[in-house]
Amino acid sequence: MITNKLNFTVGPVQSSDAVRELGSEQVPYFRTPEFSELMFENERLMKAFTKADENARVCFMTGSGTASMEAAVANCFTQEDKVLVINGGSFGHRFEELVEIYDIPHTTIHLEMGKALTREQLYAYDGQGYTGLLVNVHETSTGVHYDIEMISDFCKKNGIFLIVDAISSFLCDEFDMKALGASVMITGSQKALACPPGISIIVLAPNAVERVYANKPKCMYLDLKLALKNGERGQTPFTPAVATLRQINVRLKEIEAAGGVEAEIKRIADLAEDFRKQIIELPFEIISDSMSNCVTPLHPKNVSAYDIFTILKDEYDIWICPNGGDMADKVFRVGHIGYLTKEDNKRLIDALKDMQRRNLL
Ligand SMILES: *Cc1c(COP(=O)(O)O)cnc(C)c1O
C-alpha cells in the first residue's frame, strides 16, 4: 500500500479537488451526444491553449505520452522523408528509436547532457533537403528547454515539417503553435494538465491533417485517420479512458476560469522561481543551461541523488523525481507542476535543510 506523499515529481502529479472528486464517480456510457459535447469542448480549449490554427484538429489518444509520440511518427512520416532528430536525453532517444522502428530515414543530433541545442549545431543541416524535425521542446530527463523560436525559424527556412513533443512543457512555457509554424504538438494528461495518466493529446495543424489522410501507417490503434474521422462527431474509434477525459474537461475549464493559459504559465513560473531562489542556499548545482518552468534539475555536490530521493520519501513523506540510468546518482529533479503551492515549496526546502543539519547532504 503506497501512502500519499507531497508530490514534486513530473508525473503523475497532484490534482485539484474537483478533478479528484470526479475520479470517485461512476464512469458513464460514452456513445452519447453529451459525451460528444464534452469532447468538442476539450478540442476547443486545447486549440485555444496551444494557440493552434482555427482549422487545426485535436486527437485524444488513450495511452501515455509515448503512444502519441509513436502515432505522430507513424502517421506523419514515410520512407520518402529525411528527418532530423534532436536527442538530448531519454525522450529524444525515444524519438530516435521510433524513426528506426518505422524505417524513416533520419539523422540524429546528439547533445551533451544538460546542454541546449546551439545555432551552429542546427544550421550544420541547413539546405540539405531535410523534410521533418522531431524535438522534445523540454527534454524532461535533463531539464533542458530548447530554443523553439530558433528551431522554428530553421524549419520555416527549410520548409521542414516540425513535430514538437511538448508533453512536459505545455502549460509551463509559452508556446504559440501557429506562430511557430509547428505542424504537430503533443502533450499528456499526467504532466501539467494534472490529471491521472491515460490520455495523450495530439494537436494537428491543417498541413498535418493533410499528411495524415495521405499516409497509410502500418498500425490500427494509432492510425490517426480513424481518430480524426470519429472526432468529427466528438467520438473516438475505440473505448477511450472516459474518466480521464472527463477530468481533463474539468481541468481545462478550471484553467479557462482562472485566466487561461497565460495565467497558468505564470502560476507555474512563480512556483519555479520561488523554489529556485531558496535552493541556492543548499549544496546543489542546477545542471541545465536553459530551463523550463516545469522542473528544476539538481546535482548534489556531496551525496548520491538517489539517496536523497529515498530519504525524502521514507523519512519526510515527500516525493521528488529521481533520474534513471547513469544519471541516477548524479541528478534528481524537482517538479513545479500539479496542485502545489509556495507552502509546499517551503516544506521541501525545510526537509532538505533538516537533512543538511543531519549531515545527509
Ligand atoms: C513524460 C514525457 C513523455 C511521455 O512519457 P509517458 O511515460 O509515455 O507518458 C514524453 N516526452 C516527454 C518530454 C515527457 O516529459
Ligand 1, atom 12, lies closest to the CA of: 167
Given this model, what pLDDT does residue 3 score? 65
- Output the pTM of the full model: 0.97
Q: What is the tens place of the pLDDT at every residue in 114-152? A: 999 999 999 999 999 999 999 999 999 999 999 999 999
Ligand 1, atom 10, lies closest to the CA of: 65
Ligand 1, atom 6, lies closest to the CA of: 65
Given this model, what pLDDT does residue 69 score? 98
Best residue among 97, 135, 168 to mutate for probing ligand 1, ranked by most atoms within 8 Å of CB = 168
Given this model, what pLDDT does residue 288 score? 85
Q: What is the tens place of the pLDDT at every residue in 147-174? A: 999 999 999 999 999 999 999 999 999 9
Distance from residue 179's CA to the centre of ligand 1 (Å): 24
Flag residues of the chain having pLDDT under 50.
none
Residues within 6 Å of ligand 1 by CB: 11, 64-66, 91, 136, 138, 140, 165, 167-168, 188, 191
The three-state DSSP-derived secondary structure of the chain is CCCCCEECCCCCCCCCHHHHHHCCCCCCCCCCHHHHHHHHHHHHHHHHHHCCCCCCEEEEEECCHHHHHHHHHHHHCCCCCCEEEEECCHHHHHHHHHHHHCCCCEEEEECCCCCCCCHHHHHCCCCCCCCEEEEECEECCCCEECCHHHHHHHHHHHCCEEEEECCCCCCCCCCCHHHHCCCEEEEECCCCCCCCCCEEEEEECHHHHHHHHHCCCCCCCCCHHHHHHHHCCCCCCCCCCHHHHHHHHHHHHHHHHCCHHHHHHHHHHHHHHHHHHHHCCCCEEECCCCECCCEEEEEECCCCHHHHHHHHHHHHCEECEECCHHHCCCCEEEECCCCCCHHHHHHHHHHHHHHHHCCCC
